[in-house]
């Protein structure tokens, strides 16, 4: 098995190295697999490392659904330093003495669980008036960063060495760890900035399932399917599946749901829980993703076609 004879449709769980941009990861994986249709389910700053869920081939159609998962991170902050980027790569704005006990840090951290409305870091990719925030920062244009609802939980103190402190926490999609550190530091009175960040999970996947790009490349060269590859049929593990054949199969490929298939979907759908269902062939090849909305019913969200995704 190698990139010249295999077409992948699914997810690659990549352990990104610090120093790489998210675009770098996409570029490298394209070269390794010989496939152009590759995206990702959420960027990581160059300073950050850890899990990136890469979408390959027809799995790129799942982007918005993979993105919805909660995340978890291991972070390191330096107390007594504030920067304009909220991380150690930025310009230092203030340096103070951080004479704070470890027990005080642990107690204060518990107050930083729950739902918060905080400003987005000015050095981020969120758009304001059609322009990314970091573009305003680079051009030294005045802009007030928008505030955003962020949610954090299971905040766990890990270690402290002098002014360097490590925590692990979980957060909702779109929450900014740099904002959490910034606000935490301000509450201590000494300030804090991020020095390291590792994404440890992107629900339902975790860092232990991932491989580095170097490891993936070696597996491909050895004609082995990398252990970090998740087939499209398993990319949404919590989504109910239903198998079809014959006319239902044909109609789905044409973007239609038969009356019989709707009846089958009604039987397996829990209207209080299920918003997506994956329809497969009898051979478990994914055919379509069907959504359900109360008072609206079933509709096709994605149809999968397994032609080659290579250049």
Q: Worst-scoring range by mean pLDDT, 133-147, 212-226, 286-300? A: 133-147
Residues in Cβ contact with 208 at an 8 Å cutoff, skipping those fewer than 6 apart: none
Residue 5 domain-assigned (yes or no): no
Given a contact cutoff of 8 angstroms between Cβ atoms, the answer to whether 120 and 128 are in contact is no
pLDDT at 69: 83
Query: What is the pLDDT confidence band of residue 133, given thresholds at 50, 70 and 90?
Result: low
pLDDT at 125: 65
- Which percentage of the chain shows pLDDT scores above 90? 68
Q: Worst-scoring range by mean pLDDT, 15-19, 115-119, 133-137? A: 133-137
The mean pLDDT of 111-132, rounded to a whole number, is 78
213-262, pLDDT tens digit by residue? Answer: 999 999 999 999 999 999 999 999 989 999 999 899 899 988 899 999 99
The mean pLDDT of 163-190, rounded to a whole number, is 95
Q: Which pair of structure tokens corresponds to residue 137?
A: 């920062």
Residue 290 domain-assigned (yes or no): yes
pLDDT at 123: 66
CATH of the domain at 22: 3.30.2350.10
- Distance from C-alpha of 209 to C-alpha of 12, rounded to nearest angstrom: 10
Mark whether 83 and 187 lie in a shared domain: yes
Mark whether 143 and 161 lie in a shared domain: yes
Check 24, 45, 84, 87 and give the catalytic one: 45
* Alpha helix (H) residue ranges in the chain: 22-33, 63-66, 102-110, 133-138, 177-188, 213-221, 246-253, 259-268
Residue 2 domain-assigned (yes or no): no
Mark whether 117 and 148 lie in a shared domain: yes
Query: Which among 185, 202, 219 is the end of a domain?
Result: 202
- Mean pLDDT score across all residues of the chain: 89
Regarding predicted confidence, which is higher, 1 or 181?
181
- Position 70 pLDDT exceeds 80: yes
Residue 150 domain-assigned (yes or no): yes
45 is catalytic: yes
Its domain, for residue 153, covers 71-202
Number of domains present in the structure of the chain: 3
- Position 308 pLDDT exceeds 60: no
Look up the pTM and report it. 0.89
Given a contact cutoff of 8 angstroms between Cβ atoms, the answer to whether 179 and 124 are in contact is no
Mark whether 174 and 88 lie in a shared domain: yes
- Position 285 pLDDT exceeds 70: yes
Residue 189 domain-assigned (yes or no): yes
Query: Which among 217, 234, 251 is the end of a domain?
Result: 234
Mark whether 104 and 124 lie in a shared domain: yes
Helices 213-221, 22-33: inter-axial angle, 10-degree rounding: 0
Residues in Cβ contact with 23 at an 8 Å cutoff, skipping those fewer than 6 apart: none
Residue 223 domain-assigned (yes or no): yes
- Distance from C-alpha of 121 to C-alpha of 134, rounded to nearest angstrom: 9
- Distance from C-alpha of 263 to C-alpha of 277, rounded to nearest angstrom: 14
pLDDT at 179: 94
pLDDT at 218: 97
- Position 193 pLDDT exceeds 80: yes
Residue 48 domain-assigned (yes or no): yes
Mark whether 193 and 143 lie in a shared domain: yes
Mark whether 197 and 81 lie in a shared domain: yes
């Amino acid at each position: 098995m190698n990139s010249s004879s295999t077409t992948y449709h699914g997810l690659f769980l990549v352990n990104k190295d610090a120093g790489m941009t998210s675009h770098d990861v996409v570029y490298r994986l394209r070269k390794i697999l010989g496939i152009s249709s590759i995206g990702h389910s959420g960027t990581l700053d160059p300073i950050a490392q850890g899990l990136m869920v890469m979408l390959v081939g027809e799995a790129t159609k799942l982007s918005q659904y993979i993105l919805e998962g909660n995340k978890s991170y291991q972070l390191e902050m330096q107390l007594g330093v504030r920067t304009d980027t909220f991380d150690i790569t930025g310009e230092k704005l203030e340096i103070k003495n951080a004479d704070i006990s470890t027990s005080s840090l642990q107690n204060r951290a518990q107050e930083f669980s729950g739902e918060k409305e905080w400003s987005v870091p000015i050095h981020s990719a969120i758009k304001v008036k059609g322009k990314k925030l970091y573009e305003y920062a680079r051009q030294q244009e005045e802009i007030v960063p928008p505030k955003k609802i962020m949610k954090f939980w299971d905040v766990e103190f890990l270690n402290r060495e002098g002014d360097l402190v490590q925590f692990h926490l979980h957060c909702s999609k779109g929450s900014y760890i740099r904002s959490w550190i910034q606000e935490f530091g301000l509450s201590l009175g000494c300030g804090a900035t991020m020095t390291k960040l590792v994404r440890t999970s992107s629900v339902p996947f975790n860092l232990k399932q991932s491989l580095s790009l170097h490891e993936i490349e070696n597996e491909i060269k050895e004609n082995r399917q990398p252990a970090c590859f998740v087939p499209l049929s398993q990319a949404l593990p919590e989504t109910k599946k239903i198998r079809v054949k014959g006319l239902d199969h044909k109609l789905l490929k044409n973007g239609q749901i038969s009356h019989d298939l709707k009846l089958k979907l009604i039987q397996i759908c829990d209207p209080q829980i299920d918003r997506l269902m994956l329809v497969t062939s009898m051979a478990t090849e994914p055919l379509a993703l069907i959504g359900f909305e109360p008072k609206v019913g079933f509709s096709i969200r994605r149809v999968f076609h397994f032609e080659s995704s290579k250049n």
